[in-house]
Amino acid sequence: MFQPLSPRVAEALLLSAAKQTAMLEDFSISPVCFCMSHRCRPIVAILTALFCVFPCALLTAAETARPNFLVILADDHGYGDVSAYQNTVVRTPNIDRIGSEGMLFTTMRANCTVCSPSRAAMLTGRYADRVGVPGVIRTQPENTWGYFAPQVPTLADELKRAGYHTSLVGKWHLGLTTPNLPNERGFDFFHGFLGDMMDDYYTHQRHGNNYLRKNQEVVETKGHATQIFTDWAIDSFRQRKDTAPFFLYLAYNAPHFPIQPPEEWLQKVKQRAPQLSEARARNVAFVEHLDHHIGRLLDALDAAGLAKNTVVIFGADNGGSLAHAQNNDPWRGGKQDHYDGGLRIPFLVRWPAQIKPGARSDYPGLLFDIFPTCLELAGAKVPAGIDAVSLAPLLRGQPLHTPERELYFVRREGGKPYLGNAYHALIRGDWKILRNHPAQPYELYNVKNDPAEKNDVSSTNPAILEELTNALNRQIKRGEETPWRAPAK
């Protein structure tokens, strides 16, 4: 039995064939006529070897044409804090560039109003409570509200199985111990922060503990976390020696509070926009500093010759924090709210090999649609039983033929306001049912007629309220089938 060629050998043979073909063009002779002469023999020999002697060679070489994936996830990034969405004082030319050179989604939502559930959903293609993460997984066990179900395959697992090299740089936030460390959940390489948030972007600690890791090794470093994670991300694809396509998940801590832009960035904003409050100026500078480093990342892809066939996705885990002067305009509310200010996110995708520049989509998607989208574009099998929908047809300029689905949201939280209870929301068509506190009654909005969610119409639409309440209860019951606490030892 013949052995398949290595990607490098197959690529060399194909390159040789391409050079021979170029000779035809130089002589201005048609390939058919030219093949009648002795000059054709090298081409015939190469093609015969590829198709007859080495039947797997072309397949192996073609695998290198599968796209790379770079998923950039910002933390608490408001919809109105990307200038492609809102013409405000904030300037994000590099994030905007992803959309102007690709596709900008206008109606995307996160899977949750807070961090961990959105991340768990994105990595599994399932609603967060169905993988054991209805709330935030924190570094303090008494205040953690989720346990990432270890038996559920992640996007990294599936892409690794399909032959991809998988990396995570930045914030993990889905577990501090085995079996929920990044290297145990499908990532070949991890260089980042295990915990929930940094108490300081320069000391990189949480409650006095260092959660920076390189795989499972504790590491220390100096500098601003946004720059550090960008450096590590660039290093991760510059230093790779294999030819496998890659999946790089880059999860920034920024612009999650504490709002800590470098001083020179803050002064630039204050000089440009002296009318801003101190809090707003700091947040604008923080976002613009993040955008600058995303620009460095895009430039590095260009320099490495990887840009054309790399799918770059920018999104966020939830809306911005109003208490920290972040902007979710034109939507109501912010982080922790089930109003759209807490759920709507910037979402932009660039893939020069396929997406026409300046494309837009109004499809009402969710962050976890990244899961089947990447798998479909990679030519990998999409697992049965997921809740997400592939956006691949949209990226290819084709219509998305999929039944209308309910969009379901859950958040569980502790402390006196919540006492460990959960609160939920559901969108079906033009209607949205929600509550922002477990003890509050449900509110009902027609988000088509009232996108700002100003007028609760629950009292005047009792039949719709009952219908959506029943639908929401069905979703809640399914989520309760998965435990969100770690099993007892």
Structure tokens at 335: 């982080």
The answer to whether residues 287 and 327 touch, using CB atoms and an 8 Å cutoff, is: no
Q: How far is CA 417 from CA 23, 177, 195, 337, in A?
A: 75, 29, 24, 14
Q: How far is CA 71 from CA 195, 246, 310, 376, in A?
A: 19, 11, 10, 15
Q: What is the DSSP string of 350-373?
A: E-TTTPPTTEEE----BGGGHHHH
The answer to whether residues 71 and 313 touch, using CB atoms and an 8 Å cutoff, is: yes
The DSSP bridge pattern shows strands 165-171 and 189-193 to be parallel
Residue 397: what pLDDT?
Answer: 94
Residue 26: what pLDDT?
Answer: 37
Residue 41: what pLDDT?
Answer: 44
Q: How far is CA 253 from CA 161, 218, 392, 438, in A?
A: 28, 18, 28, 28
Structure tokens at 201: 């972007």
The answer to whether residues 460 and 474 touch, using CB atoms and an 8 Å cutoff, is: no
The amino acid that residue 125 corresponds to is G
Domain ranges for the chain, please list them: 7-63, 68-395, 407-479
Residue 22: what pLDDT?
Answer: 37
CATH number at 407-479? 3.30.1120.10
The Cβ of residue 442 has, within 10 Å, a number of other Cβ atoms equal to: 17
Rounded average pLDDT per 10-residue block, the chain, 489 residues: 39 39 34 37 42 38 74 97 94 98 98 98 98 96 95 98 97 97 98 96 96 97 98 89 90 98 98 97 98 98 95 98 97 98 98 96 97 98 96 95 93 92 97 95 98 98 98 97 92
**Is-same-fold flag (68-395; 407-479)?**
no
Residue 54: what pLDDT?
Answer: 41
- Per-residue H/E/C for 217-258: EECCCCCCHHHHHHHHHHHHHHCCCCCCCEEEEEECCCCCCC
Residue 37: what pLDDT?
Answer: 39
52-73 pLDDT, tens digit each: 434 333 333 434 489 999 999 9
- Can you name the residues that pair with 166 across neighbouring β-strands? 247
Q: Does an H or E element contain 470, and which?
A: helix 462-479
Residue 8: what pLDDT?
Answer: 40
- Can you name the residues that pair with 104 across neighbouring β-strands? 348, 360
CATH superfamily of 68-395: Alkaline Phosphatase, subunit A (3.40.720.10)
Look at the pTM and tell me if it is higher than 0.85.
Answer: yes
